[in-house]
Structure 1
Amino acid sequence: MQRMSTQHELCPECGHLGKAVGRRTVESLLRPEIRGSLQADDGFWFCRTPGCSIVYFRADSARSYTVDDLRVRVGQKQPGPPTPVCYCFGHTEEEIMDQVRDTGACAIAAEIAAKVRVGDCACETENPEGTCCLGNVRRAMKLATGDEGAPSIGAARSKAGRTGLWVQAGVLMTALLASACCWLPLALVGFGASAVGASAFFEEYRLPFALLTLGLLGVAFYLSYRPARGSTVAGVSGAPATAEDCCTVAGDSGPSRLQRWNRILLWPVTAGAIALLLFPDYVASLIGSAPTAMGREDAINLLVLPLSEGDELVERPADLAIELGNLKSVALSEVLPGGHGLRLELAEGDPLQAQADVLAVLQGQQVIANLVPAEWIRIPVTGMTCEACAVTIADAVWRVDGVGGVVVDADDGLLKVLAENEPFLLRAVADAVVATDYGIGPPETPRSDFSQDLSGLGCCTVDDLQ
Structure 2
Amino acid sequence: MNKREETTTKVECPSCGYKAKRVSTSTIGALLDDELAEQYVTDSQSCCATEGAGCASIKEDTGWRFCPSQNCDVVYFTEQGDRQFTKSQLKVSVGVKESSGERPLCYCFGHSVGSIKEELGTKNRSDALDDIRARMKDPGCHCETSNPSGSCCLGSVTKGIAIAQEEMRMHDSTVTLASTTKSSTGRGEVIAKIGTIVSAFMASACCWLPLIMLAIGVSGAGIAATLEMYRPLFIVITFGFLGAAFYFTYRPKIASAEAEHDCCPTESAKAEDCCAPTGKHRFSMMALNKVMLWGVTVLAVAFLFFPSYVGMFLRVGDDAALSESMNQAVFKIEGMTCEGCSNILAESIRAVPGILAVNVNFEAGEATVGAETCCAVPEIEVLEAIKLAGFKGKQLSLKK
Q: Which one has a bigger Cα radius of gyration?
A: 2
